[in-house]
Each structure stands twice: as C-alpha cells, then as structure tokens.
Amino acid sequence: QSCVQVDKSTIVNEAVNYIKTLEHTLQTLQKQRIEKLQNAPFLITSQAEELKLKEEFLANKESSKNFFVSTKTCQSCLIPPCFQTWSSPNVVLNLCGDDAQISVCSPRKPGLLATIFKILGSIN
C-alpha cells in the first residue's frame, strides 16, 4: 500500500481549478440556453387580447366545456412549438409533448379529481 503525500497548496490549487472549470461549463450552458430561447418563438399577447380572453372565460364560467382558457385561442400569438397552458381560477394545466403538469388548488371535495379528468379527457 503506497501513501501519496500531497501538500495543502496542491489540494487547494486543484480545487480552485475544478471550480473554475465548473464555472466555465455553467457559463457555456447559460449562453446555449439564451441562444435557444432567442431562437424560439414566445407567447406574446397584448393586454387587450388578454383582457378579452379573461372576459370570455368569465362569461362562460358556468359551462364545463369552457372550463379551461387555452393560450392557443389567440390567433396573433406566437407560442413555443411544444408548450401549451390552460388555466381556470383554481386549475392550471401545462402540456409539453406527451408530458402534462396539473395544479389544482381547492378544498377537498369528493369527485373533484374525477371531474377534472373527465374534462381533460374531452379536450383533444
């Protein structure tokens, strides 16, 4: 069994070099992310369009068919190719490809989750 003697300054120098390498990698990844975001279209809605969507939602609030307001209802909007969001006062649904994220904020009610899944099943 061989014991290698390493002085403290060597350990510190190696740690500093490794941290610098990690920082460089982080900067490179951040630049790549910014470039991707700049090349991808974003959802852009005017305040008037957003207000119109909210008014339509509130007008149809009682109808389960219009339970969700889709960000895709805006004709002049640009939207990322795989990301869609629907929302109501207590529910938010995010879809990206085959993945979905559902957020529900409500007191415990029997049958609520089944109702939500029924509505989601009726959406293409």
Query: How confident is the model over 20-25, as a mean pLDDT?
Result: 93
Task: Encode burial over 61-91: b for 16+ CB neighbours within 10 A, e otherwise.
Answer: eeeeeebbbebeebeebebeeeebbbbbeeb
18-27, 64-73, 80-89, 98-107: which has the minimum mean pLDDT?
64-73
* Range list of H helices, the chain: 8-39, 47-59, 112-122
What are the tens digits of pLDDT across the range 39-83? 655 444 445 555 565 566 555 544 444 444 444 444 444 544 567
Q: Are strands 91-96 and 83-87 parallel, antiparallel or unpaired?
A: antiparallel
pTM confidence score: 0.32
Residue 28: pLDDT over 70? yes
State how far the Cα of 63 lies from the Cα of 80, in Å rounded to an integer: 28
- Least reliable range by pLDDT among 19-23, 87-91, 100-104: 87-91
Which carries the bigger pLDDT value, residue 31 or residue 62?
A: 31
The percentage of the chain sitting over the pLDDT mark of 70, rounded to a whole number, equals 59
CB 77 within 8 Å of CB 43: yes
Q: Indicate whether 17 pLDDT > 90.
A: yes
Domain boundaries, the chain: 1-39, 47-122
* pLDDT value of residue 16: 94
Q: Quick one: 93 exposed, middle or buried, by C-beta within 10 A (0-12, 13-18, 19+)?
A: buried
Mean pLDDT of 12-35: 90
Contacts of 105 (CB under 8 A, 6+ apart): 90, 91
User: What SS3 class is residue 5?
Assistant: coil
Query: How far is residue 103's CA from residue 112's CA, in Å, rounded to a whole number?
Result: 13
pLDDT for residue 13 = 92
